[in-house]
Amino acid sequence: MTTSTPSAWIDAADRHIAGTYKRFPIVLTRGKGCSVWDVNGKAYRDFVAGIAVCNLGHCHPEVTAAVCEQAGLLVHVSNLYYTQPQIDVARMLTANSFADRVFFCNSGAEANEAAIKIARKYFQDRGETDRFEIVSMKQSFHGRTMATLSATGQEKIRKGFDPILPGFRFVPYNDIDALRENVNGQTCAVLLEPIQGEGGIRIPDPGYLHQVRQICDVTGALLIYDEIQTGMGRTSKLFAHEHDGVRPDIMTLAKALANGLPMGAMLCTEKVSAAFSPGAHASTFGGTPLVTAASRAVLRLLTETDILEHCRIMGDRLAGGLRDLARRHSVVRDVRGKGLMVGAEIDGKGADVVMACMEKGFLINCVQENVLRFVPPLVVEADDIDALLSCLDEVLG
């Protein structure tokens, strides 16, 4: 196309791209740090970050350099062979987590697929063939493949795809008694997000994860953390469960793992990993040299600089500012979150606030219809946050 008219691009997209997304009427062309620009040159401060993906901001120079260098060396050879960037990332992930082994894939849904498969096979290999159920949480989100939507505790995600796969049951998040009643001799795993993202930035009660771990230990069930949205520094820890100090048996990552390149990972202990022998699971594009080169740069920055502390400071500033707005605007019911994963529940349609902010040059997000979600790059600065709060003060007023 030779024209730069936004409507022309949008019309072309609506003709040729599957209509699975309700997109906003802007065409973005470039980004840097915490800002993006549309085809007309209008700038937006980005508090969505690709839905908690670009944790280091857009086009971070070190990540960009790593990708460009690797693109000139080796992009893909499949997992029939060893590649150096993949080995480096596996070593870095295990050195900075509970895990002993890593399986690489391309997305969060694939990472959760791997977690579901390995949890079931772990017990199949032990001869416990009746132990296949996974207990998940209501309002959870784990992906849109048939297995992961079957594990997702939101009816709107599962609607239209019946029959969903058997072997999943759901309990309310934060309800330890309900969990205890539903974990039994058929349970192979408990699957949960340390903070529910799509469910409305829902935080576990103090001690909840410890009690979940205890139930799993007593019954022998495996504990799976879905850290696809919460991981890679989003909550000011490398992984969100570190706030509670409760280790899982399996953990899934994606989103920010390669700062925008498609990459997922399933991490697990040595004991669990034994269930994935050669041929049990695979991914042609999983952990290519290109994406793992990006991930290696991401991990270096997250573990060797002060980005996580910066995230904590900026997260406190954002949450504090939102709470101050709540005191002045009764429409704000609640503010909750950790680090730079913050939600503001409002009395009204969040979509209206999202659109008003976009018109003023701020990209924010809404989940569960009335929870404004703020997941900016971890490198966001105080003036970005203060400008957003000023915008919200005007919009809410």
Residues 300 and 342 in one domain: no
Residue at 353 is within a domain: yes
Inform me whether the pLDDT recorded for 1 exceeds 70: no
Residue 135 near residue 189, CB atoms below 8 Å: yes
The pLDDT tens digits for 373-395 are 999 999 999 999 999 999 999 99
Res. 3 pLDDT band, cuts 50 70 90: low
Q: Which two tokens stand for residue 145?
A: 């493949």
| Beta-bridge mates of residue 373 | 343, 365
Residues 206 and 326 in one domain: no
Q: Choose the catalytic residue: 47, 103, 132, 141.
A: 141
Strand order through the sheet with 35-38: 28-32, 35-38, 43-46, 362-363
Residue at 367 is within a domain: yes
CA 257 vs CA 120, 296, 334: distances in Å: 25, 9, 30
Start-to-end CA distance of the chain, whole Å, equals 42
Residues 220 and 277 in one domain: yes
Residues 246 and 332 in one domain: no
Residue at 165 is within a domain: yes
For residue 283, what are the domain limits?
62-304
Residue at 99 is within a domain: yes
Res. 397 pLDDT band, cuts 50 70 90: confident
- Residue type at position 92: M
Residue at 141 is within a domain: yes
Residues 293 and 356 in one domain: no
Q: What is the CATH number of the domain that holds 211?
A: 3.40.640.10
The verdict on whether 255 is a catalytic residue reads yes
The count of other CB atoms within 10 Å of the CB of residue 350 is 21
The count of other CB atoms within 10 Å of the CB of residue 290 is 22
The verdict on whether 138 is a catalytic residue reads no
The pLDDT tens digits for 111-153 are 999 999 999 999 999 999 999 999 999 999 999 999 999 999 9
Helix, strand or coil, per DSSP, at residue 14: helix
CA 44 vs. chain centroid, Å, equals: 22
Count of domains forming the chain: 2
- How high does pLDDT run on average in the chain? 97
Res. 4 pLDDT band, cuts 50 70 90: low
Residues 172 and 73 in one domain: yes
**Mean pLDDT of the region 234-251:** 98
Residue 6: what pLDDT? 87
The verdict on whether 24 is a catalytic residue reads no
Q: Choose the catalytic residue: 255, 276, 362, 374.
A: 255
As a 3-state breakdown, the chain gives helix, strand, coil percent values, each rounded to 5, of 40, 20, 40
Residues 75 and 135 in one domain: yes
Separation CA 187–CA 151 (nearest Å)? 13
Residue 1 near residue 29, CB atoms below 8 Å: no
Residues 326 and 291 in one domain: no
Residues 335 and 273 in one domain: no
Residues 300 and 348 in one domain: no
Query: Among residues of the chain, what percentage have pLDDT more than 90?
Result: 98
Residue 128: what pLDDT? 97
Inform me whether the pLDDT recorded for 5 exceeds 90: no
Residues 288 and 350 in one domain: no
Q: Choose the catalytic residue: 46, 226, 249, 384.
A: 226
**Picking from 1-5, 30-34, 154-158, 203-207, which range would have the lowest pLDDT averaged per residue?**
1-5
Residues 211 and 338 in one domain: no
Residue at 314 is within a domain: no
Residue 94 near residue 130, CB atoms below 8 Å: no
Residue 122 near residue 249, CB atoms below 8 Å: no
Res. 180 pLDDT band, cuts 50 70 90: very high
DSSP-derived secondary structure letter, 187? E
Residue at 213 is within a domain: yes
Helix, strand or coil, per DSSP, at residue 58: strand
Residue at 235 is within a domain: yes
